[in-house]
Structure 1
């Protein structure tokens, strides 16, 4: 079995960032992949991004690279793309809604991409945002992304690339995905109300980004922008509460769809809690 080496570069943070690599090996037992993760923390300026991207390309040399950051059209991520393109290593750019501005350029330069429209910007105003608020926001968005189908969509897209490399294909088909409200189909909900709640959570999460952009960049008066960013976080909290309701609806009828990996990386499936995945 060919073991695939995957490189994750994390610059800045979106909701998907903390778990994107973990979603490929949830029990730390896969024998078909090796994963290396490097990052620049909260910073995503060109100098910081250049340093970690060059280290990944020159020192780790993976079979393919996943670069994840806010706003892939920003100067830092753009610098990363220049380095990744020159390296020739197949690369996938994962980003939030502002990344739509770079979609055509990504395609022209041979990158794969996953743009997550419902992965919102945080309320980054000094009067409001502290480390505790960062933790609460990220816990809420991770819950939403998990329950409505985003995590599964990203994981399955990356697994397809892994399988292509294992099979020795010369032309690896990289994902070209814009995640919208149709993402809820990935969860195959048994209860139509669970699906409706998932769509509601999606729409709320996407709106959170719009509200935070307004509060962070468009409104200059603190008396106005502080309650705006606070309201965005309250919106996301409601989406997270919906995510709890969705999960409980599916659990109540013992219908939660679980798709674990086996040791060889195959995705298994089960519905009933007490049955074994097949």
Structure 2
């Protein structure tokens, strides 16, 4: 069985589900998934510790996921993974675009998820409950816009190459609204329209929260901004719900489950067997 390593440092919307989306029924017979992490922090010390723990597991492939992978902590993790000669794919949000050239130079793969928005991390606003609401909405958008399907499919190509004894071509993708919603394979063009709108709304959410958290002083000024950003995300989540319902009404929901051997199957008719 091949060992797949997932390192989670800090958190973006995709972080809680990355391991689960590779083995959604927990019945794959071709891979085992091992996860290490640093919790909510991603400083150099935390990232180094989580990465060293993973290297000791000797995985065949590592997925490293964090916010802003251009920061010193994630950069330290990449240096360790490169030294260990482990094929690695870096997954990050829009600020991580600043590191893509360096990642490519290390011959690593990457996914930059431009809609995976920063949270409104202001103390008077963000408590544990608000944090969970935000992340649940964000996960819904990632699933409903096709981001999850795009990443799961690309990672499966890498795993298949490794199982076949080949040197895999690691994906290097900045995920846009077009790439994501194309991967979603909507059956109704109006569903894709709604998903594209949801994706771009979350790009705006990221910009709004960056402005509120790093560029705005004064509680009276930043509180409405983080509040508005979270409201916009909530509406984006509703849009992907509406998109899903449109496809349901036409019996055109595209499903791509993993078989026990890891192969991605597909189906669209509700009662059909995936093949």
C-alpha distance in 1 between matches for 2:222 and 2:186 = 38
1:174 to 170, 177, 183: 170
Residue 250 (structure 2) aligns with? 253
SS state at 1:15 partner: coil
Matched ranges for 1:57-136 at <5 A: 57=55, 59-136=56-133
User: Cα offset for 1:157?
Assistant: 1.2
SS state at 1:274 partner: coil
C-alpha distance in 2 between matches for 1:50 and 1:220 = 33
TM-score calculated relative to the size of structure 2:
0.98
SS state at 2:156 partner: helix
Q: Deviations over 1:204-241 (max 9, x none)?
A: 01110000000000001111001101110000000000
Residue 49 (structure 1) aligns with? 47
Residue 204 (structure 1) aligns with? 201
SS state at 2:144 partner: helix
Matched ranges for 1:129-168 at <5 A: 129-168=126-165
Q: Deviations over 1:29-85 (max 9, x none)?
A: 00010100010110101111111101111x211001110000000111011111111
Residue 185 (structure 1) aligns with? 182
C-alpha distance in 1 between matches for 2:5 and 2:203 = 28
SS state at 1:138 partner: helix
Residue 32 (structure 1) aligns with? 30
User: Cα offset for 1:201?
Assistant: 0.4
C-alpha distance in 2 between matches for 1:61 and 1:203 = 39
TM-score calculated relative to the size of structure 1:
0.97
- Retained in 1: the 8 A contact 2:255–2:267? yes
User: Cα offset for 1:143?
Assistant: 0.4
C-alpha distance in 2 between matches for 1:188 and 1:65 = 28
- Retained in 1: the 8 A contact 2:194–2:239? yes
Residue 221 (structure 1) aligns with? 218
- Retained in 1: the 8 A contact 2:247–2:253? yes
Deviates more, 1:180-189 or 1:210-219: 180-189
Runs of 4+ in structure 1 over 4 Å off: none
SS state at 1:225 partner: helix
Paired positions, count: 274
Deviates more, 1:8-17 or 1:79-88: 79-88
Residue 10 (structure 2) aligns with? 12
Q: Deviations over 1:117-144 (max 9, x none)?
A: 0000000000000000011001001000
